[in-house]
């Protein structure tokens, strides 16, 4: 029996807009979740057993069967080499970083793979971090299809705010391997703000304190009249609940008289440590059993073990406030995100530092997925886009190398994204027909102190005198935090561009170090920049004068030539020193003694040009 659509006579046929099934995915280090709209409300989806959290663990069996989640986690003790956990930390990392950190000591890596993109050796073959992540994403997509009876058409996937470009690229690649269309990569703290902002209609300055299993982010957001803006962000890509577990595991090893934990024992000991840490979130004492012996760890002793890690989280909060020019008294609310924030010692430290109890209205494990699900509904067209405006920020400055190995920042740290900014550059030497462009990331003034992202070149610049060419360089950062750089020469329209796909192997602590060092070395960096700029200007002037003398030495008087030589010698001596002010003073002296020579050359050039015009004019009149 077919259904008929009936409308009133003379009326327009009614059309129902097809609803697109979208989801929010929190791809976590320890656990992952998926959320979608059910009955008009975004909720996280549970598996058949009622568990919302999917352990981010994959087991590759010798029979080719791939297990994901709790079942895979159960295999960690029996088959540690084939159970991959905490893979999120491996995204975008190089071989040396993975093998040197100790986090992956129980794994073997494929020697045939590129060391910039290492792969775990498993019973099912080599699997790189993106492929392992894809297996987790597939499991989440299957859960959604089983739960709601239809496939996901697109997803918003969350990432730590401090994920660099390589890590974001690999997250997107993992989704493509899992046949999931990425609507957007969304920073985890921002996703939490979306969930809380829409639910509680809160306004003001809010700190999102996100301590997950493997990463830590703290962001300062302004929520006003439906506008979500990240004012500043910071954190530590090498800090999470896993690190607290390692402290307990190391403590247990010492109690057992071990100097070092054997690789085959490491997963089991970590699981025991994790259970103890979770117990201490609700009790004052936890018992651990190892090798037939029973050990007791008190909450007070655990707090002493973890004091350094807790201090690191508060230092990150302090840096974020400093970046935004705010004090703790300017903060209206603090949101706790991530399962590790259930630890009482974390909640106490946050409450003491900010002088207020943090909000805990939404399950800290689920809030990120819920916020991503809400954003997915908007991007899929299921919710009006003008319900709220979401602005994210660029966590580290992006710029380009200029002469003297100096960094010219084009998009500054904490600039709202998506964003596009342009700046004009020119040639350094006469007749220059190409320009090499070096894209860098960081807060320091010298290229050597920043991170190299990409190199490309612009060819076909018309030969002109130095400084005459105009090359417009444009930096574009999209909503996912991915960077594209374009260069265009004004007179010819010649273009070159690069999509930044940075090299892997960024040190775990490098992002945090870059920010700290930029503050610690601010004065010395500015002094170094001033010195290099002074030397560059001096070199440019001396090169120009040498070239002019080579072409028109006959225009110089003997005494004048000697005065210029003395001034150039004085300038060279100043350039050998470390005083930018002295170099600038000697450069100005050289300018003064050579200005009459420069004026005569200019008059001669203009006169020749005018004579040429007159001859051309007469020839045209005679014709």
Last residue of a domain, one of 506, 536, 554: 506
Residue 599 has pLDDT above 60, yes or no: yes
- Is residue 498 domain-shared with residue 437, that is, in the same domain? yes
Q: What share of the chain is helix, strand, coil (3-state, %, to 5)?
A: 40, 25, 35
Residue 286 has pLDDT above 90, yes or no: yes
- Is residue 97 domain-shared with residue 125, that is, in the same domain? yes
Buried b (16+ CB within 10 A) or exposed e, 80-92: bbbbbbbbbbbbb
Q: Which stretch of DSSP H or E encloses residue 295?
A: strand 293-298
- Is residue 545 domain-shared with residue 479, that is, in the same domain? no
User: What is the average per-residue pLDDT within 95-109?
Assistant: 73
User: Among the ranges 433-437, 446-450, 549-553, 612-616, which has the highest mean pLDDT value?
Assistant: 433-437
Q: How far apart are CA 227 and CA 190, in angstroms?
A: 12
Question: Between the CA of residue 277 and those of 295, 311, 337, what are the distances in Å?
Answer: 14, 18, 17
- Is residue 384 domain-shared with residue 365, that is, in the same domain? yes
Q: Which two tokens stand for residue 510?
A: 């490098």
Question: Between the CA of residue 601 and those of 58, 429, 542, what are the distances in Å?
Answer: 75, 19, 16
Selection from 442, 438, 479, 472 nearest residue 456 by Cα: 438
Residue 256 has pLDDT above 80, yes or no: yes
- Is residue 386 domain-shared with residue 408, that is, in the same domain? no
Q: How far apart are CA 209 and CA 220, in angstroms?
A: 9
Q: What is the model's pLDDT at position 305?
A: 95
- Is residue 544 domain-shared with residue 474, that is, in the same domain? no
CA atoms within 13 A on the CB side of 359: 21
**Percentage, residues of the chain above pLDDT 70:** 84
**For residue 133, what is the domain's CATH number?**
3.30.420.40
Last residue of a domain, one of 391, 406, 437: 391
CB 477 within 8 A of CB 552: no
Catalytic residues: 26, 88, 188, 210
Q: How far apart are CA 195 and CA 202, in angstroms?
A: 11
Residue 222 lies in a domain: yes
Q: What is the model's pLDDT at position 11?
A: 42
Residue 514 lies in a domain: no
Q: Which two tokens stand for residue 109?
A: 């890596």
- Is residue 355 domain-shared with residue 407, that is, in the same domain? no
Q: How far apart are CA 607 and CA 384, in angstroms?
A: 68
Q: Which two tokens stand for residue 360?
A: 């805990």
User: Among the ranges 109-123, 218-232, 242-256, 591-605, which has the highest mean pLDDT value?
Assistant: 242-256
Residue 434 has pLDDT above 60, yes or no: yes
**For residue 569, what is the domain's CATH number?**
1.20.1270.10
Q: What is the model's pLDDT at position 518?
A: 58
- Is residue 364 domain-shared with residue 496, that is, in the same domain? no
What global pTM score does this model have?
0.61
From the number of C-beta atoms within 10 Å of its C-beta (0-12, 13-18, 19+), residue 351 rates as: middle
Q: What is the model's pLDDT at position 202?
A: 55
Residue 405 domain boundaries: 396-506
- Is residue 343 domain-shared with residue 472, that is, in the same domain? no
User: What is the average per-residue pLDDT within 161-182?
Assistant: 87
> CA 35, 37, 39, 40 torsion: positive or negative?
positive
Cα-Cα end-to-end distance for the chain:
92
Q: How far apart are CA 373 and CA 368, in angstroms?
A: 9
Q: How far apart are CA 487 and CA 401, in angstroms?
A: 14
574: three-class secondary structure by DSSP: helix
Q: How far apart are CA 339 and CA 23, in angstroms?
A: 21
Question: Between the CA of residue 371 and those of 4, 14, 365, 591, what are the distances in Å?
Answer: 39, 33, 12, 62
Residue 201 has pLDDT above 60, yes or no: no
Residue 382 lies in a domain: yes
User: What is the average per-residue pLDDT within 422-437?
Assistant: 86
In the numeric block, the tokens 């909060």 are attached to 317
Residue 7 lies in a domain: no
Q: How far apart are CA 318 and CA 323, in angstroms?
A: 9
Total domain count for the chain?
Answer: 3
Residue 178 lies in a domain: yes
Residue 603 lies in a domain: yes
Q: How far apart are CA 118 and CA 55, in angstroms?
A: 23
User: What is the average per-residue pLDDT within 197-214?
Assistant: 75
Q: Tens of pLDDT along 21-53?
A: 999 999 998 899 999 999 889 999 999 999 999
Q: What is the model's pLDDT at position 197?
A: 66
Q: How far apart are CA 197 and CA 359, in angstroms?
A: 12
Count the neighbouring beta carbons within 10 Å of the beta carbon of residue 54.
Answer: 24
- Is residue 313 domain-shared with residue 452, that is, in the same domain? no
- Is residue 175 domain-shared with residue 113, that is, in the same domain? yes
DSSP string, 19-47: PP-EEEEE--SSEEEEEEEETTEEEEPP-
**Beta strands 406-411; 398-402: pairing state:** antiparallel
Q: Which two tokens stand for residue 587?
A: 């450069």
pLDDT-based confidence at residue 314 (cuts at 50, 70, 90)? very high
In the numeric block, the tokens 């273009």 are attached to 495
User: What is the average per-residue pLDDT within 267-295?
Assistant: 90
Q: How far apart are CA 322 and CA 518, in angstroms?
A: 13
- Is residue 538 domain-shared with residue 459, that is, in the same domain? no
From the number of C-beta atoms within 10 Å of its C-beta (0-12, 13-18, 19+), residue 599 rates as: exposed
Selection from 31, 17, 45 nearest residue 381 by Cα: 17
5: three-class secondary structure by DSSP: coil
Which residues are registered as beta bridge partners of 407? Answer: 401
pLDDT-based confidence at residue 615 (cuts at 50, 70, 90)? very low
Beta-carbon contacts of residue 259 (< 8 Å; ≥ 6 apart): none
**For residue 489, what is the domain's CATH number?**
2.60.34.10
Last residue of a domain, one of 450, 480, 506: 506
Q: Which two tokens stand for residue 543?
A: 């090169």
In the numeric block, the tokens 């990240």 are attached to 230
Q: Tens of pLDDT along 459-493?
A: 888 988 878 888 999 998 877 677 889 899 988 88
Q: How far apart are CA 160 and CA 215, in angstroms?
A: 7
Residue 156 lies in a domain: yes
User: What is the average per-residue pLDDT within 569-579?
Assistant: 86
Residue 48 lies in a domain: yes
CB 283 within 8 A of CB 276: no
Q: What are phi and psi of 256, to 5 degrees?
A: -90, 0
Q: How far apart are CA 247 and CA 276, in angstroms?
A: 11
Write the DSSP symbol of residue 427. -
């Amino acid at each position: 029996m077919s259904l008929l659509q009936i409308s009133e006579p003379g009326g327009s046929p009614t059309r129902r807009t097809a609803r697109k099934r979208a989801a929010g995915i929190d791809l976590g280090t320890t656990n992952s979740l998926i959320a979608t709209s059910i009955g008009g409300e975004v909720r996280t989806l549970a598996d058949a057993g009622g568990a919302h959290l999917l352990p981010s663990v994959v087991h590759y069996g010798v029979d080719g069967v791939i297990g994901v989640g709790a079942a895979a986690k159960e295999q960690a003790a029996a088959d540690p080499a084939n159970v991959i956990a905490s893979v999120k930390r491996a995204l975008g990392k190089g071989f040396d970083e993975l093998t040197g950190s100790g986090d992956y000591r129980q794994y073997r890596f494929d020697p045939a793979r590129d060391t910039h993109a290492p792969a775990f050796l498993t019973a099912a073959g080599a699997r790189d971090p993106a492929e392992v992540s894809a297996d987790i994403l597939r499991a989440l997509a299957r859960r959604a299809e089983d739960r709601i009876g239809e496939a996901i058409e697109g997803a918003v996937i969350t990432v730590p705010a401090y994920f660099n470009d390589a890590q974001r690229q690999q997250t997107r690649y993992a989704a493509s391997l899992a046949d999931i269309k990425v609507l957007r990569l969304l920073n985890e703290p921002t996703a939490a703000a979306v969930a809380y902002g829409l639910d509680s209609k809160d306004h003001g300055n809010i700190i999102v304190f996100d301590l997950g299993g493997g990463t830590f982010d703290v962001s300062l957001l302004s929520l006003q009249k439906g506008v979500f803006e990240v004012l500043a962000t910071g954190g530590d890509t090498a800090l999470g609940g896993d690190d607290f577990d390692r402290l307990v595991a190391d403590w247990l090893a010492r109690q057992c008289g071990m100097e070092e934990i054997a690789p085959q024992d490491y997963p089991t000991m970590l699981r025991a440590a994790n259970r103890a840490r979770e117990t201490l979130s609700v009790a004052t004492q936890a018992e651990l059993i190892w090798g037939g012996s029973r050990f007791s760890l008190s909450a007070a002793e655990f707090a002493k073990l973890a004091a350094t890690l807790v201090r690191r989280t508060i230092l990150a909060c302090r840096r974020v406030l400093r970046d935004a020019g705010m004090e703790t008294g300017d903060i209206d609310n603090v949101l706790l995100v991530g399962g590790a924030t259930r630890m009482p010692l974390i909640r106490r430290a946050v409450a003491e530092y900010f002088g207020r109890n943090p909000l805990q209205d939404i399950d800290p494990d689920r809030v990120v997925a819920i916020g991503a699900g809400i954003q997915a509904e908007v991007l899929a067209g299921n919710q009006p886009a003008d319900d709220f405006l979401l602005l994210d920020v660029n966590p580290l400055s992006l710029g380009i190398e200029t002469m003297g190995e100096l960094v010219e920042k084009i998009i500054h740290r904490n600039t709202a994204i998506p964003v596009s900014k342009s700046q004009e550059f020119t040639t350094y030497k006469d007749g220059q027909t190409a320009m090499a462009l070096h894209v860098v990331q960081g807060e320091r003034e010298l290229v050597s102190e920043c991170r190299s992202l990409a190199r490309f070149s612009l060819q076909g610049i018309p030969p002109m005198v130095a400084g005459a060419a105009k090359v417009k360089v444009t930096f574009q950062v999209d909503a996912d935090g991915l960077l594209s750089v374009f260069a265009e020469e004004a007179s010819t329209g010649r273009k070159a561009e690069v999509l930044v796909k940075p090299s892997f192997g960024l040190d775990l602590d490098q992002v945090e170090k870059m920010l700290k060092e930029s503050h610690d070395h601010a004065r010395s960096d500015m002094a170094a920049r001033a010195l290099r700029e002074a030397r560059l200007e001096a070199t440019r002037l001396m090169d120009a004068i040498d070239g002019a003398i080579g072409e028109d030495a006959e225009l110089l008087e003997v005494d004048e030539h000697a005065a210029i030589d003395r001034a150039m010698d004085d300038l060279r001596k100043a350039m050998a020193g470390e005083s930018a002010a002295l170099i600038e003073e000697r450069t100005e002296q050289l300018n003064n003694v050579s200005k009459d020579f420069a004026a005569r050359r200019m008059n001669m050039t203009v006169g020749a040009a005018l004579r040429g015009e007159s001859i051309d004019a007469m020839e045209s009149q005679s014709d």
